[in-house]
Copies of this chain bind each other. A is one copy, B any other.
Amino acid sequence: MKKLKDFRHIILYGLILAVLVFALKWLQWKFVLVDNAIDIYIGAIALFFTILGIWVASHIMKPKVETLIVEKEIIVQPPEVFTLNTAELQKLNLNNREYEVLQLLAKGHSNADIAANLFLSVSTIKTHVSNLYFKMDVKSRTQAITKAKQLKIIE
Contact = CB atoms under 8 A, between A and B. Distances in A.
A61 B54 contact: yes
A14 to B, nearest CB: 6
A9 to B, nearest CB: 6
Contact of A70 (B6, B60, B67): B67
A58 to B, nearest CB: 5
Nearest to A56: B54
Contacts of A140: 108, 110
Interface string A39-53: 001100111111111
Interface string A53-86: 1111110111111111111111111100100000
A13 to B, nearest CB: 6
A32 to B, nearest CB: 11
Interface string A110-152: 1000000000000000000000000000101111111101000
Contacts of A60: 6, 9
B2 A17 contact: no
Listed from nearest, the 6 A-B pairs whose CB atoms lie closest are A53-B53, A57-B57, A108-B143, A63-B64, A49-B49, A108-B146
Interface of A: 2, 5-6, 9-10, 12-14, 16-18, 20-21, 24, 28, 36, 38, 41-42, 45-58, 60-78, 81, 105-110, 138, 140-147, 149
23 contacts: A5-B62, A6-B61, A10-B16, A13-B13, A13-B56, A14-B20, A47-B49, A49-B49, A49-B53, A50-B56, A54-B61, A57-B61, A63-B64, A65-B65, A69-B71, A69-B72, A71-B71, A73-B74, A77-B81, A106-B146, A108-B142, A108-B146, A142-B145
